[in-house]
């Protein structure tokens, strides 16, 4: 599913007309009909379309036009529809035009009995701040919703006042319970504050031939995409079939990260998990992760005098690596100069090996923190490396440049840095960005505050590594991992709510999510599935 900017959406519409004769009125008929179908399919269980009271707020442009077409379909289906044309101040209640002198009181009465308000005021054509009277209208609906929480707000294409490119939001914008966007999700939805205003996201069809989208470079992760990448499990398999994972992670002070990452790799199907540990840390892992095997490394050097020990450590690790398909390096390693040196030596070893003979590399957390202290750190990485920074780590990698907040375009930054550094970059956050060194980008929709807790990043790193071990290309392994990880979070939240998740809670849900996605049986709380292409 492609994500578009306003300009790209306009270009798609223009091409649809030029190449396929799909004029604006034709597209609008599709849009309104598709929006009505989605609306009816998503009615709450206690609602029936018959006698459902729906108030449409109609704007002056094509967004309003979409609303009018949708309204006609709902009338035919039996709903009690009223609409208020904002520009003309004209109210029509169940087919009857209301005399101008009574518009205010009638609008008040319609609003008070409405089950749904449909915001079809403005879409991608918004060109200035909302006018005062539009803000007042939306404010009145907002107050009604506060008094009657059962009132549902549905936005057509986008909640009016959301900037579909930047995610900025007009102060008058009304939060939607559901947004039925048309043709493609808009880029701004994936940024804050807009993300908070969208509610459940559904994508309607306007009948565009899909080949028109083939040049677009930004995609949204969804089930259809993920299903095609979940590794196949042949009956005639053994643990070697699904790849061996090595984790160079954890330390006496941070043992949990290796446990979480290693367990996560196993939970997404990797054949064998090996933790690189020292004699000192072995007992911690041996008692908690029974399924893992261990590569015992000598203790790190304790002073300049026995510095040669880092070489012994690297040697011991690299002696173990042949036969391993994926290596995760970083979580919980700490940031001593000895650790940094070991990391550099391991990178040197990996660069010296032919690609097909060495494991694919994922670097996270302290692996990145250690590297970011070095000038041109990316030149030390072997080809095909995946890095998974959170915004703080990303900022360090960018030499202190601010990477989140306000006006920062995280998407442009991720795209630029993946190209400059020649890595697959997973910029974590509420809507995680996955950027390929060739400029392609994928975005995750599933923001979930429950995941904002220590250790969930270690789980993600383990999932990425587990998919790499099963033979996925770096960009696909990273994309699938982000989707499966956040879907597991969604499952935990369905039970616990949006607080109190422990990173280890995710682990048993990883395989369940994979199973359900594979069998098309995954039913998350608020996930867009595919573009709705009609019944
Ligand atoms: N053009 C097409 O082919 C299609 C358009 N579609 C719909 O059309 C929308 C875009 O249509 P438009 O380009 O007509 O744009 P809009 O419907 O978003 O509105 C543009 C109109 O609103 C006015 N306006 C802009 N900002 C305003 C503000 N702050 N306060 C008050 N009035 C304001 C403009 O002067 C203009 O009259 C999409 O969001 C989508 O809903 C879809 O139906 C698909 C097909
Ligand atoms: N609000 C949120 N919505 C969705 N995902 C989130 C949110 N906050 C954090 N996450 C996810 O949780 C993980 C946190 O990773 P990270 O910050 O590295 O944690 P840690 O290092 O403690 O393991 C990332 O995958 C991130 O995308
Ligand atoms: K709208």
Q: Is 250 annotated to bind ligand?
A: no
The domain that contains 74 carries what CATH number? 3.40.50.10260
Task: Tell me: do 201 and 276 sit in the same domain.
Answer: no
Task: Tell me: do 271 and 314 sit in the same domain.
Answer: yes
The domain that contains 428 carries what CATH number? 3.40.1190.20
For 72-209, strand residue ranges (E) read 80-85, 90-93, 96-97, 116-120, 152-156, 178-182, 200-204
Question: For residues 382 and 362, is the Cβ–Cβ distance under 8 A?
Answer: no
CA-proximal residue: ligand 1, atom 2 (nearest): 24
Q: String of b and e for 437-465 (b: at least 16 CB within 10 Å)?
A: beebbbbbbbbbebbeeebbbbbbbbbbb
The single residue listed with the structure tokens 């306003």 is 6
- Residue 122 CA neighbour count, 13 Å, CB half: 22
Tokens for 163, please give them.
Answer: 């900037």
Question: For residues 257 and 455, is the Cβ–Cβ distance under 8 A?
Answer: yes
On whether residue 531 sits in a domain, the answer given is no
On whether residue 533 sits in a domain, the answer given is no
Task: Tell me: do 144 and 264 sit in the same domain.
Answer: no
Can you give the three-state secondary structure of 324-367, one letter per residue?
CCEEEECCCCCCCHHHHHHHHHHHHHHHHCCHHHCCEEEECHHH
| Cα-only R_g, the chain | 26
Task: Tell me: do 63 and 142 sit in the same domain.
Answer: yes
**Counted domains in the chain:** 2
Cα gap 417→435, rounded to integer Å: 9
Q: Is 129 annotated to bind ligand?
A: yes
For 279-432, strand residue ranges (E) read 293-297, 326-329, 360-363, 386-387, 424-427
CA-proximal residue: ligand 2, atom 13 (nearest): 457
Task: Tell me: do 501 and 408 sit in the same domain.
Answer: yes
Cα gap 15→10, rounded to integer Å: 9
CB 101 less than 6 A from any atom of ligand 1: no
- How remote is the CA of residue 16 from the centroid of ligand 1, in Å? 18
Task: Tell me: do 255 and 207 sit in the same domain.
Answer: no
Task: Tell me: do 461 and 511 sit in the same domain.
Answer: yes
pLDDT 10s digits, 380-392: 999 999 999 999 9
Task: Tell me: do 308 and 205 sit in the same domain.
Answer: no
What is Dmax (Cα atoms) for the chain?
93
Which atom, in ligand 2's list, is nearest to the CA of 388? 18
Task: Tell me: do 351 and 250 sit in the same domain.
Answer: yes
Q: Is 126 annotated to bind ligand?
A: yes
For 149-278, strand residue ranges (E) read 152-156, 178-182, 200-204, 218-220, 244-248, 272-278
The single residue listed with the structure tokens 């914008």 is 173
Q: Is the dihedral of CA 461, 466, 467, 471 positive or negative?
A: positive
How does pLDDT run along the chain (535 residues), one tens digit per residue?
A: 999 999 999 999 999 999 999 999 999 999 999 999 999 999 988 999 998 999 999 999 999 999 999 999 999 999 999 999 999 999 999 999 999 999 999 999 999 999 999 999 999 999 999 999 999 999 999 999 999 999 999 999 999 999 999 999 999 999 999 999 999 999 999 999 999 999 999 999 999 998 999 899 999 999 988 999 999 999 999 999 999 999 999 998 899 999 999 999 999 999 999 999 999 889 999 989 999 999 999 986 655 555 667 889 999 999 999 999 999 999 999 999 989 999 999 999 999 999 999 999 999 999 999 999 999 999 999 999 999 999 999 999 999 888 887 777 899 999 999 999 999 999 999 999 999 999 999 999 999 999 999 999 999 999 999 999 999 999 999 999 999 999 999 999 999 999 999 999 999 999 999 999 998 877 765 454 456 665 4
Cα gap 33→27, rounded to integer Å: 10
Cα gap 435→341, rounded to integer Å: 28
What pLDDT, on the 0 to 100 scale, is given for residue 525? 56
On whether residue 532 sits in a domain, the answer given is no
pLDDT 10s digits, 154-194: 999 999 999 999 999 999 999 999 999 999 999 999 999 99
Q: Is the dihedral of CA 60, 66, 68, 71 positive or negative?
A: negative
- How remote is the CA of residue 469 from the centroid of ligand 1, in Å? 48
pLDDT 10s digits, 37-74: 999 999 988 999 998 999 999 999 999 999 999 999 99
On whether residue 235 sits in a domain, the answer given is no
Question: For residues 227 and 203, is the Cβ–Cβ distance under 8 A?
Answer: no
* Burial of residue 287 (number of CB atoms within 10 Å: 0-12, 13-18, 19+): exposed
Task: Tell me: do 366 and 266 sit in the same domain.
Answer: yes
- How remote is the CA of residue 487 from the centroid of ligand 1, in Å? 34
Question: For residues 157 and 123, is the Cβ–Cβ distance under 8 A?
Answer: yes
Task: Tell me: do 377 and 290 sit in the same domain.
Answer: yes
CB 448 less than 6 A from any atom of ligand 2: yes
**By residue range, what is the domain housing residue 121?**
6-216
DSSP for 447-508, please give it: --GGG-STTHHHHHHHHHHHHHHTT--HHHHHHHHHHHHHHHHHHHHHHH-SS---GGGGTT
What are the φ and ψ backbone dihedral angles of 287, each rounded to 5 degrees? -85, -15
On whether residue 221 sits in a domain, the answer given is no
Cα gap 86→57, rounded to integer Å: 7
On whether residue 525 sits in a domain, the answer given is no
On whether residue 523 sits in a domain, the answer given is no
Q: Is 95 annotated to bind ligand?
A: no
CB 37 less than 6 A from any atom of ligand 2: no
Q: Is the dihedral of CA 103, 109, 111, 113 positive or negative?
A: negative
Query: How distant, in Å, are the alpha carbons of 98, 158, 405, 410 from that of 187?
Result: 39, 11, 16, 12
Given 153, 182, 216, the domain boundary residue is 216
Query: How distant, in Å, are the alpha carbons of 268, 344, 451, 498, 527 from that of 491?
Result: 16, 39, 11, 11, 12
Sheet with 152-156, edge to edge strand ranges: 96-97, 90-93, 80-85, 53-58, 116-120, 152-156, 178-182, 200-204
What pLDDT, on the 0 to 100 scale, is given for residue 535? 46
* Burial of residue 231 (number of CB atoms within 10 Å: 0-12, 13-18, 19+): buried
On whether residue 439 sits in a domain, the answer given is yes
Closest CA to 155 of 191, 185, 197, 195: 197
Which atom, in ligand 1's list, is nearest to the CA of 160? 18
What pLDDT, on the 0 to 100 scale, is given for residue 306? 58
Task: Tell me: do 209 and 260 sit in the same domain.
Answer: no
What pLDDT, on the 0 to 100 scale, is given for residue 521? 75
């Amino acid at each position: 599913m492609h994500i578009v900017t306003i300009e790209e959406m306009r270009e798609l519409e223009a091409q649809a007309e030029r190449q396929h004769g799909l004029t604006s009125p034709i597209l609008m008929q599709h849009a309104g009909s598709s929006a009505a179908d989605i609306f009816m399919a998503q009615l709450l269980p206690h609602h029936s379309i018959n006698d459902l009271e729906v108030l449409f707020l109609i704007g002056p442009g094509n967004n309003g036009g979409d609303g009018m077409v949708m309204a006609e379909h709902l009338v035919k289906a039996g709903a009690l529809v009223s609409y208020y044309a904002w520009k003309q101040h004209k109210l029509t209640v169940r087919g009857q035009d209301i005399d101008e002198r009574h518009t205010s009181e009638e609008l008040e009465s319609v609003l008070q009995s409405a089950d749904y308000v449909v915001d079809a005021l403005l879409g991608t054509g918004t060109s200035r701040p909302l006018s005062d009277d539009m803000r007042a209208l939306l404010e009145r609906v907002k107050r009604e919703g506060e008094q009657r929480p059962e009132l549902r707000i549905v936005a057509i294409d986008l909640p009016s006042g959301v900037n579909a490119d930047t995610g900025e939001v007009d102060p008058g914008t009304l939060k939607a319970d559901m947004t039925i966007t048309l043709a493609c999700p808009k880029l701004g939805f994936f940024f804050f504050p807009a993300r908070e205003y969208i509610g459940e996201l559904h994508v309607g069809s306007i009948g565009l031939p899909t080949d028109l989208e083939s040049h677009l470079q930004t995609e949204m992760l969804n089930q259809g995409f993920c299903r095609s990448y979940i590794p196949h499990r042949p009956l005639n398999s053994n643990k070697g079939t699904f790849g061996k994972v090595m984790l160079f992670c954890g330390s006496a002070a941070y043992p949990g990260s290796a446990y979480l990452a290693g367990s996560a790799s196993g939970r997404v199907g990797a054949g064998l998990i090996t933790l690189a540990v020292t004699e000192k840390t072995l007992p911690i892992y041996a008692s908690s992760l029974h399924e893992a095997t261990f590569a015992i490394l000598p203790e790190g050097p304790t002073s300049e005098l026995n510095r040669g020990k880092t070489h012994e450590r690297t040697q011991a690790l690299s002696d173990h690596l042949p036969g391993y398909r994926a290596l995760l390096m970083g979580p919980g390693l700490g940031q001593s100069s000895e650790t940094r040196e070991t990391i550099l030596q391991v990178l040197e070893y990996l660069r010296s090996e032919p690609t097909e003979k060495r494991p694919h590399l994922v670097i996270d957390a302290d692996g990145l923190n250690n590297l970011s202290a070095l000038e041109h750190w990316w030149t030390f990485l072997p080809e095909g490396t995946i890095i998974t920074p959170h915004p703080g780590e990303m900022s360090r990698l960018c030499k202190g440049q601010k990477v989140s907040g306000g006006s920062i375009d995280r998407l442009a930054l991720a795209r630029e840095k993946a190209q400059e550094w020649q890595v697959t970059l997973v910029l974590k956050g509420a809507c995680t960005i996955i950027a390929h060194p060739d400029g392609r980008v994928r975005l995750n929709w599933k923001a979930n505050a429950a995941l904002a807790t220590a250790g969930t990043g270690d789980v993600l790193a383990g999932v990425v590594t587990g998919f790499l071990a099963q033979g996925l290309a770096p960009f696909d392994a990273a994309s699938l991992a982000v989707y499966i990880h956040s879907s597991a979070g969604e499952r935990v939240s369905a039970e616990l709510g949006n607080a109190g998740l422990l990173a280890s809670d995710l682990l048993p849900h990883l395989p369940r999510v994979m199973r359900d996605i594979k069998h098309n049986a995954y039913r998350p709380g608020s996930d867009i599935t595919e573009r709705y292409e009609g019944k």
